Copies of this chain bind each other. A is one copy, B any other.
Amino acid sequence: MSFATRLADAVRRTRSVTCVGLDPRKASLPAPLRDAVSQDRPEEWAAAYTQFCCEIIDVVGDLVPCVKPQAAFFEQLGPAGMISLGEVVAYARSKNLLVILDGKRNDIGSTATAYADAYLGAESPWGSDSLTVSPYLGRDSIEPFVDVCDQRDAGIFVLVKTSNPGGGLLQNRQTDGQTVFQCVAELLTELNSSRQNAEGYGPLGAVVGATYPQELAEMRAAMPHSWILIPGFGAQGGAAEDVKVGFHEGGMGAVVNSSRHIIFAHARPEYADKFGDARWHDAVRAATEQMNAQLDLVK
């Protein structure tokens, strides 16, 4: 079953469009997990990251369709962190969560194929369902990923319009009336056009930030065959009204990521007193349910 179909099924099953970003950071872990690290060694932190992420997965497994582990934080711990990343991906999949691995990888030709094989391939040590990909290197840096998607029913999410303030430097540059991000969107739509599932979605998703609602609406129209991963909700400032324009009818076609606001919810003012570090799982659940309620779009 194609990645796009599996994602739609997961959204319908959970009646949720929330993607929980798994961004473990040493300093932000709840006190019980931080305190359990007796020696400041990568292996101990990696074990704490695995425990933290897997316990989040236990909490949100029935509440959301997907999780998005951020590779950078696991890579920061070295090979021990990469083992942890594999454990987290496998655990999420065992709990019926789809995994969007956020690695923003890209390269050309056979090197792009190596990245695709590494994270999405038949013998992938990480075995993710999908991967985020950066488009700067052009069409021939995207196609090798698409080939692996075709073979493995995997997906990618290509950066189109990112949520950060500086994203516009390159992405908003306009040539003959078309911006760079519109050009990327056009490429995705073209590559998806021969790869649609019954609902019209292909394996090439797009990343479009919640912080630019007008562009999000425009990109929704420009990429009818793409699932859109919308970061920037919550901690980065995007609101529920902002992201609704990224969806098709019935809450299909997009998932909205929140990382810090969910996984470190115990530190948010509204939850700190009520739950605190000791009951961090309850804070994660409350924050996830709150976000689901804010984005009650699935019909």
A168 (CB) vs chain B CBs: closest residue: B138
Contact with B along A100-140 (1 / 0, CB 8 A): 00101111111110110111000011100000001111111
A175: interface (CB < 8 Å) = yes
Is the Cβ of A78 less than 8 Å from the Cβ of B86?
yes
Is the Cβ of B165 less than 8 Å from the Cβ of A140?
yes
Which residues does chain B contribute within 8 Å of A81, judged by CB atoms? 125
Which residues does chain B contribute within 8 Å of A139, judged by CB atoms? 166, 169
**The stretch of A149-157, A179-187, A198-206 that contacts the partner chain:** A179-187
A18: interface (CB < 8 Å) = no
A70: interface (CB < 8 Å) = yes
Which residues does chain B contribute within 8 Å of A169, judged by CB atoms? 138-139, 183, 187
Given A23-B111, A180-B170, CB of A75 within 8 Å of CB of B118: yes
Interface SS, A side: helix
Is the Cβ of B164 less than 8 Å from the Cβ of A104?
no
Is the Cβ of A126 less than 8 Å from the Cβ of B78?
yes
16 contacts between A and B (CB under 8 A): A70-B114, A72-B105, A72-B111, A75-B119, A78-B125, A79-B79, A104-B106, A104-B107, A108-B164, A134-B134, A134-B136, A139-B169, A140-B166, A169-B183, A170-B184, A173-B180
Give me the 8 closest cross-chain CB pairs, A-B, nearest first.
A78-B125, A138-B166, A140-B166, A138-B169, A72-B114, A108-B164, A139-B166, A75-B118
Residues of A within 8 A of B (CB): 23, 25, 42, 70, 72-73, 75-83, 86, 102, 104-112, 114-115, 117-119, 124-126, 134-141, 159, 162-171, 173-175, 180, 183-184, 187
